[in-house]
Structure 1
Amino acid sequence: MDILSLIGLLLAIIALVGGAILKGAGLGSLWSSAAFVIVILGTLAAIFVHTPPAVFKRALGIAGWILRPPAADRAALMAQILEWSNIARRQGLLGLEQQVGEQEDPFLKKGLQMLVDGVEPEQIRHMMEIDLESQESQELAAAKVFEGMGVYAPTLGIVGAVFGLIAVMKNLADPSKLGHGIAAAFTATIYGIASANLFFLPIANKLKAVIGRRTGEREMIIEGLIAIAQGENPRNIESRLAGFLH
Structure 2
Amino acid sequence: MKDVTTLVGVGGAMGVIVVANVMEGGNPASLMQVPAMLLVWGATILVSAAGGTMSDAKGVVGSLKKAFLGEAHTSADVVPVVVSLADKARKEGLLALEDSLKDIDDPFLVKGVTMAVDGTDPEEMRDILEGEVAAKRAEVKHSAKFFSDAGAYAPTIGIIGTVMGLVHVLENLAEPDKLGHLIAAAFIATLWGVLSANVVWLPIGNRLKRLGELEATRMEVTIEGVLAIQAGANPRIIAQKLTSLLPAHEQEHAEAA
TM-score, with structure 1 as normaliser: 0.92
Aligned residues: 246
Other-structure match for 2:254? none
Paired residues for 1:33-182 under 5 Å: 33-70=34-71, 72=73, 74-182=75-183
Shift in Å, 1:21:
2.0
Letter paired with 2:231: Q
Shift of 1:214: 1.2
- Are 2:208 and 1:207 equivalent residues in the alignment? yes
1:26-65, Cα deviation, whole Å (9 max, x unpaired): 1232111220121111111112212223223333213233
Equivalent residues in 2 for 1:178-189 (5 A)?
178-189=179-190
Worse overlay, 46-55 or 150-159 = 46-55
Q: Any unmatched runs of 5+ in structure 2?
A: 252-257
**1:98 Cα offset (Å):** 1.8
Query: 1:165 touches 1:185 (CA, 8 Å); kept in 2?
Result: yes
C-alpha distance in 2 between matches for 1:67 and 1:41: 21
Shift in alpha-carbon separation, 1:141–1:192, aligned structure 2, 3 A = same
Letter in 1 for 2:180: G
Task: Measure how far apart 1:125 and its partner are.
Answer: 0.8
How far apart, in 2, do the equivalents of 1:75 and 1:171 lie?
64
Q: Distance in 1 between matches of 2:93 and 2:122?
A: 15
Unaligned runs of 5+ in 1: none
Residues 49, 146 of structure 2: 8 Å contact kept: no
CA distance in 1, matches of 2:220, 2:60: 23
Quick one: structure 1 residues 83 and 177, their matched pair in 2 at CA, closer, same or farther if it must change by over 3 Å?
A: same
1:222 deviates by: 0.5
| Cross-structure match for 2:25 | 24
Q: What SS class does the counterpart of residue 119 from structure 1 fall into?
A: coil
SS at match of 2:59: helix
Alpha-carbon spacing, 1:109–1:68, altered in 2? closer, same or farther (3 Å) = same
Q: Answer with 236-245 or 21-30: which moved more.
A: 21-30
